[in-house]
Structure 1
């Protein structure tokens, strides 16, 4: 195996970290844990870990009703009122500084904008990074005319996930409609049935902590047995720097092959998510001559009916041990599905707790989210995590139309704050897939400083060959 060289073009680590912990502050939730370490793995000139919500509002707007609806959402959903109690900047060796809950919502800033300058002002607004020690949610209303506004919601990923955006939009539309007397408007009553702070406190109990430590140790043993401490070999002359350099190989499937995959999934009683993960893992295993791999998947973590209507970061990154050698593709897909389902039991495990037992980190240093896996897989559409319904109408009522504006932050790339974090990211392969009725789009991403492009092209070829030859009736 070729060992990569990490060049000295960046700092070893950023020293520092918060002082003595605040005894009255809250710990991180099990879901915030991986996100905190992701933040700490990068320097400040990396793409910010924020999740915007941008809505174009056309029609006569009742600003007071909008302000009250937003305040109600922040009051009901505690995650939006959390802020860090100490240093929130990047430092690979800094521990969680604690967080506190604001008593009141953050309000709404109204900014006048010249007509035609809305998109540029959205960019300027979102370029002002959140200070998580002050707040992790900020709302700005851009007004270009009495009947033309853009609402810009800025959320730190520590308190927001994709499903939360859906909940936020629904409650905002319903709350505004209720305050303006529109038909179908339903005001929210009382606090949300799911308490984010209550979840944090339950997780912080002595009994829960002991249980999680035992389960984290058991998960780590399984991951080590599947090669978590044996990364995929580097390409010839690999030299990983602190600045990631990603390249992608298409994994797209035509409508015909996409339909073949879906038919095979129905016949095998498996999901497209598990089937795609299984086929990709088999391709990686064949090229790298591995019998076992560890994959990383994202699970929404909304394990109770109350949590399904919650705003807050509830998804978690789960390492999934896979046995990929031998047997038919049908058997492989079933085994993969069983492993993914079993991993669900660990959705409340902090990723750092598993990493501690798997020797993926030392002390308080940040652990990159894929530190223990060979392949990260994300899927949207089909039976995977649903994307935002950008075209779905929002019933604000009262002659007000709302359109979701897509916004992609400038990609500043990833610069790592430490050597181990850079290598943990570089060693992993990253696959994304979006399933529609017109086929599958997606790519296999990799840091070209570490991985051999020729090898990964073979992985893609094997994957496409498997899909094209799936036996369907």
Structure 2
């Protein structure tokens, strides 16, 4: 039995992860379900101060010191006292400034290939790789049940603030912290609100007789261990610029343009027009959750009728309507699947899987930002593929991020029990060609 005196209920997001967990190391509760962020830091780093600042962050955010306890059908969160996370130090090979970006990427891939059990509190650790006294790479690792991508940027912002404050002998200039359990309490209190009831009704109607589009796999689904590999690539800056321009012209967003391109890609290769593609939404509602560390993201199936579109702009308009409706009715997937229990059936068959499309748009990203005596730059332009990386529970995840330094940074994470790399490389190349075709019709082959 779980000690009820320490019980904090799971959020709906956490409960969904519990329900899809494989019960082994490959699932969301396993040691490979991690999230890693990397930052290039320039300036002399005081390691002891960095350790203390990391401890400050863990003390500030309860989610980083919270165990998820499961005992049969019972599950809850147990908040632990503050403690200091591990900070490991590595010397990075210095083959000259020109090679440092590649070495930094290899370093992050190596960190990401490691394991981190969700019972190892605090659920944050750091690895500092140093080229020299004034140039280093900091990797922050969290278990993904405790922090999402948005959270990692909040953690780094707070860490930089605490480090600078300690160096200057003053309190950190941060607002009071709210906690993930406050969000859980809000979620439970609003479960039967008028807004939630209307949202459930929307998804019941929207996904009636719908199926997430299944991507055919190379291998037959079977029980057993697997890892997630990551294929990374870069789309040319001309496509980034054209995506941004078309989004502005159509009063949409880059995500909507890229989703329309992906739907075109699927329609041309399958002949299907009623397409359901899943994505992730931040789940940061209400707005006071923006500063909280925790697992908020929601898996959202977007359904779009692509039939009889007059042109690509027409399709963007339909995607825009789909997205705006979904944004207004965002719910955790546990709520959505309760209204549409068959929506995933086609994508979990023996030779099929879902492919999620995610366009990353994170706040608080430090880009050449001076905080105290250190300058921080987030390492978002990762182009080195990895045979083993942070785990996804199933299928494939196509990630895209418009890089201010040029191009669209792409990645496809895929589980090795279902796909081989050559298929994933082809998937990326085919999508790239589709994007060229829809943005520059004169280039159509």
Same fold (TM over 0.5): yes
Q: Secondary structure at the match of 2:408?
A: strand
What is aligned with 1:105?
Answer: 82
- Judge conservation of contact 2:232–2:411 (CA < 8 Å) in 1: yes
2:324 to 332, 336, 341: 341
Deviation at 1:100, TM superposition (A): 1.0
SS of the counterpart of 1:355? helix
Please point out which of 429, 440, 447 is paired with 2:408.
440
Select which of 276, 290, 297 maps to 1:294.
276
- Deviation of 1:58 after TM superposition, in Å, equals 4.9
For the 8 Å contact 1:53–1:153, the answer to whether it is kept is yes
Kindly provide the CA deviation profile for residues 38-62 of structure 1, in whole angstroms up to 9, marking residues without a partner as x.
6547644988111234565752627
Give the one of 255, 258, 261 matched to 2:243: 261
Shift of 1:284: 1.1
Which structure has the higher relative contact order (CA within 8 Å, separation 6+)? 1
Shift of 1:131: 3.0
> 1:464 maps to which residue?
436
In the alignment, structure 2 segments of 5+ residues that lack a partner are 95-102
Q: Tell me, yes or no, if the aligned pair for 1:318 and 1:346 is still in contact at 8 Å.
A: no
Q: State the SS of the aligned residue for 1:432.
A: strand
Structure 1 residue 138: Cα displacement: 3.4
- Counterparts in 2 of 1:68-467, with a 5 A limit? 68-86=52-70, 97-102=75-80, 104-109=81-86, 129-139=115-125, 153-181=140-168, 187-188=172-173, 191-192=176-177, 194-205=178-189, 207-208=191-192, 212=196, 215-216=199-200, 218-228=202-212, 231-232=213-214, 234=216, 239-242=220-223, 253-328=235-310, 329-347=312-330, 349-360=331-342, 375-380=355-360, 385-386=361-362, 389=365, 391-397=367-373, 411-412=387-388, 425-426=394-395, 430-436=397-403, 438-442=406-410, 447-448=418-419, 461-467=433-439
Structure 1 position 290, deviation (Å): 2.0
SS at match of 1:287: helix
Q: Could you say what secondary structure the match of 2:328 adopts?
A: helix
State the shift of 1:197 in Å.
0.7
Name stretches of at least 5 consecutive residues in structure 1 with no aligned partner. Answer: 1-19, 88-93
70 and 283 in structure 1: CA distance in 2 versus 1, 3 angstrom threshold? closer
Structure 1 residue 160, shift from structure 2 partner? 1.2
- How far apart are residue 156 of structure 1 and its match? 0.7
Query: SS at 1:158's partner residue?
Result: coil
Q: Secondary structure at the match of 1:133?
A: coil
SS in 2 for 1:325: coil
Change (3 A) 1:391 1:215: closer
Identify which range, 303-312 or 434-443, moves more after superposition: 434-443
- Distance change (3 Å), C-alpha of 1:265 and 1:96: farther
Higher deviation after alignment, 291-300 or 201-210 = 201-210
Q: 2-side partners of 1:256 and 1:144: how far apart? A: 35
Change beyond 3 A, Cα 1:147–1:277: closer
Q: Deviations over 1:27-79 (max 9, x none)?
A: 2223334444565476449881112345657526272x444433332233222
Counterpart contact for 1:113–1:121, Cα < 8 Å: no
Q: Secondary structure at the match of 2:277?
A: strand
Q: For the structure 1 residues 21 and 52, does the alpha-carbon distance in structure 2 shift closer, same or farther, using more than 3 Å as the test?
A: same
* 2-structure distance, mates of 1:108, 1:454: 37
Q: Judge conservation of contact 1:57–1:151 (CA < 8 Å) in 2.
A: no
Distance 1:260 1:129 in 2: 40
C-alpha distance in 1 between matches for 2:390 and 2:86: 31
- Output the aligned Cα RMSD: 4.9
TM-fit CA distance, 1:255:
3.7
- TM-score calculated relative to the size of structure 1: 0.68
Rg larger for = 1
Deviations 1:156-176 (A, max 9, x none): 111212222222222222222
